[in-house]
Amino acid sequence: MPPRIRVLYSSLAVVLFFIAAVPLYRDLSRPTDIWWTPRTMLVPLTASQDRVEIYARGRPLRSLLDAGHARIADETASSVLAASEVGLRFNNWDRVRSERLPLLLAYSAGCGAMAMLFLLVVTGRLAYRGDKERVAGSDATAR
């Protein structure tokens, strides 16, 4: 393979490798705590019943709040906790991870293919060998 073509294919493989590797690195180096529901968007207890149930001493928290059995005590006094004062944060990492998995697998396959192409070009295994010339008498003997 001519050196110009080898450099072209090698640089193309390296560029495509980094195009696939950058999103992989960015996704794998993110902090894992960013998938929690933000504190400013807490989910009310009534809106979260399809995703979570909270129990205290074997009784649902919602029934304890409705009956007035849940209290918060501070230095001076204690007050009954209302259901509207309870908010929940969810960790959505499992949902985000399952949505991103096919894309990350595609990027990984792209990285592997480009690394293989780069190695083939650099080691000369992808060299063009051309067609072999036929010997004049070989056509007659092949029939």
Closest CA to 16 of 141, 121, 133: 121
Helix, strand, or coil (residue 10)? helix
Please tell me the pTM assigned to this model: 0.49
Q: How far is residue 58's CA from residue 66's CA, in Å, rounded to a whole number?
A: 16
pLDDT at site 43? 86
Domain spans, the chain:
1-36+101-128, 37-90
- Under a CB-based contact definition with an 8 Å cutoff, are residues 68 and 80 in contact? yes
* Nearest Cα residue to 52 out of 84, 98, 89, 81: 89
Q: How many whole angstroms from its chain centre is CA 122?
A: 31
The enclosing H or E element of 60 equals strand 59-60
pLDDT tens per residue across span 17-61: 898 899 888 888 887 777 777 888 888 888 887 788 888 888 888
Query: Per-residue pLDDT tens for 82-108?
Result: 888 888 888 877 777 788 888 889 989
